[in-house]
């Protein structure tokens, strides 16, 4: 997105990705160009703030789930140990009772 000045006049172009190419699309000149530019900058700032809030929320949720992950791993280790102690063995990812 660029606000360009040519011959003393403001022109505003939006950059649009069309497949692999980036094209400029004319939006307007003069006051329309300035207003469109400001509107796009505001929406860009809002998107950035939303991404930052989502990132913080994800970090908060990951911190809350860390103890649960540790508990799950501990339970899995204890389960495997109990099955091995009871005479089972792993065969292709499954626990099977040992023969004899």
What is the mean predicted confidence (pLDDT) over 53-60?
97
- Residue 31's nearest CA partner among 15, 12, 17, 45 is 12
Query: Length of the chain in residues, anyone?
Result: 100
Report how far residue 43's alpha carbon sits from residue 56's, in angstroms, rounded to the nearest whole number.
Answer: 20
Q: Would you state the structure tokens that stand for residue 79, as one six-digit string?
A: 């389960």
State pTM to two decimals: 0.58
What is the mean predicted confidence (pLDDT) over 30-58?
93
Task: Please check the confidence at residue 61 and state whether its pLDDT lies above 90.
Answer: yes
> Could you give the dihedral angle defined by the CA atoms of residues 84, 86, 91 and 97, in that order, rounded to the nearest 10 degrees?
170
CB-CB contact of 17 with 10 (8 Å): no
Task: Please check the confidence at residue 65 and state whether its pLDDT lies above 70.
Answer: yes
Q: Count up the domains in the chain and report the number.
A: 1
Report how far residue 3's alpha carbon sits from residue 18's, in angstroms, rounded to the nearest whole number.
Answer: 20
Residues 7-36 have pLDDT tens digits of 888 889 988 888 889 988 888 898 888 888
Residue 1: which pLDDT band, with cuts at 50, 70 and 90? low
* Residue 80: domain span: 2-97
């Amino acid at each position: 997105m660029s606000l360009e000045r040519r011959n003393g006049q403001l022109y505003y172009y939006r950059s649009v990705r069309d497949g692999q190419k980036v094209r400029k699309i004319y939006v307007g000149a003069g006051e329309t160009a300035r207003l469109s530019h400001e509107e796009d900058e505001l929406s860009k700032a809002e998107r950035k703030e939303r991404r930052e809030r989502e990132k913080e929320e994800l970090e908060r949720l990951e911190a809350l789930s860390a103890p649960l992950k540790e508990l799950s791993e501990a339970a899995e280790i204890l389960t495997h140990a109990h099955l091995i102690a009871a005479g089972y063995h792993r065969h292709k990812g499954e626990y099977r009772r040992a023969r004899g």
